[in-house]
Amino acid sequence: MGDAVSSSKTEVKGYRDRKIQEELKSRGEIPKHIAIIMDGNGRWAKKRGLPRVAGHREGIKSVRDVVEACAQLGVKYLTLFAFSTENWKRPKYEVDTLMKLLIKVLRTEVDKLQKNDIKLMAIGDIESLPVEVQRELKEAIEKTRNNKRMVLNLAISYSGRWEIIEAVKSIARDVKNGKVKVDEIDDKLFSNYLKTAGMPEPDLLIRTSGEYRISNFLLWQIAYTELYICDCLWPDFRRKHLYEAIKDYQRRERRFGMTSEQIKKKSFNGNA
Ligand code: IPE
Ligand code: IPE
Ligand code: MG
């Protein structure tokens, strides 16, 4: 009896969720690429008198919920900032625990990614990660490489400046060996040297925990991204918060330097 009640509750919840998703889809455009700075794990734990790592552990539930909701909504790319270049400066115990959590999550979630047709990718200085993390990451990437529904892109040991410098070095090498001419260097060529080559730029960037900063995330790619900051701490973030962010996004007018009139005319002509 209890089971029957709880399963029908889950069904009702699922039904309501699908309805909200359909509404969002019919109301406006669903961002093709969403990037998230998952912040506030430490504060979530501190508020409860728990060690910071308890917040990181709890944050995994938010990742699961958001990945699932994004795939259902038809988001094509979801980039999650999981660990920054600067995060290596944190206490050893916290860094070690984060690495262990990464290994565990990659191991336990890969089958679910596979089942849901989600392709895993990673950007960052992967070689700087412990070998075991590298191994799990490579295996999960390899296993899911033919999946088509959505790309889940993890930014690990990543920073925007690091990525830009890496791109500059590669371009300089290619100029030196004659593959690239200096005058050929433009936005498009530069983007193709970044770790995100081939991905569209994020339409929407969400940061949790109420911090109004970018913290060295996707510096080049967010030139015209819509920013959304919410006070919610990452372990409390669920799909309903994501829906709010998308609703907010749908109310915006993206002008890319043009006038409102130009944008309206463009979308009227169907080529915005
Ligand atoms: C984000 O939460 C997770 C990582 C940076 C790995 P934090 O650990 O930064 O949590 P706060 O910002 O200290 O609350
Ligand atoms: C950004 O959060 C990095 C990740 C979410 C992985 P931080 O907590 O490291 O950023 P700051 O230090 O508050 O700017
Ligand atoms: Mg933080």
Active-site residue among 87, 116, 147, 216?
87
Is 87 a known active-site residue?
Answer: yes
Is 216 a known active-site residue?
Answer: no
Using one digit for the tens of pLDDT, what is the confidence trace for 250-268? 999 999 999 999 999 988 8
Q: pLDDT tier at 1 (50, 70, 90 boundaries)?
A: low
**What is the predicted pLDDT for the residue at 272?**
44
Alpha-carbon dihedral 9, 15, 21, 23, rounded to 10 degrees:
-120
Q: pLDDT tier at 7 (50, 70, 90 boundaries)?
A: confident
Q: Which CATH architecture has domain 29-159+201-252?
A: 3-Layer(aba) Sandwich (3.40)
Using one digit for the tens of pLDDT, what is the confidence trace for 93-132? 999 999 999 999 999 999 999 999 999 999 999 999 999 9
Using one digit for the tens of pLDDT, what is the confidence trace for 72-92? 999 999 999 999 999 999 999
Which residues surround ligand 1 with Cβ inside 6 Å?
38-43, 83, 87, 98, 209, 234
Which residue has the CA at smallest separation from atom 11 of ligand 2? 215
**Of ligand 2's atoms, which has the minimum distance to the CA of residue 39?**
5
At a CB cut-off of 8 Å and minimum separation 6, what does 224 contact?
201, 254, 256
Give the residue-averaged pLDDT of 221-249: 98
Using one digit for the tens of pLDDT, what is the confidence trace for 154-164? 999 999 999 99
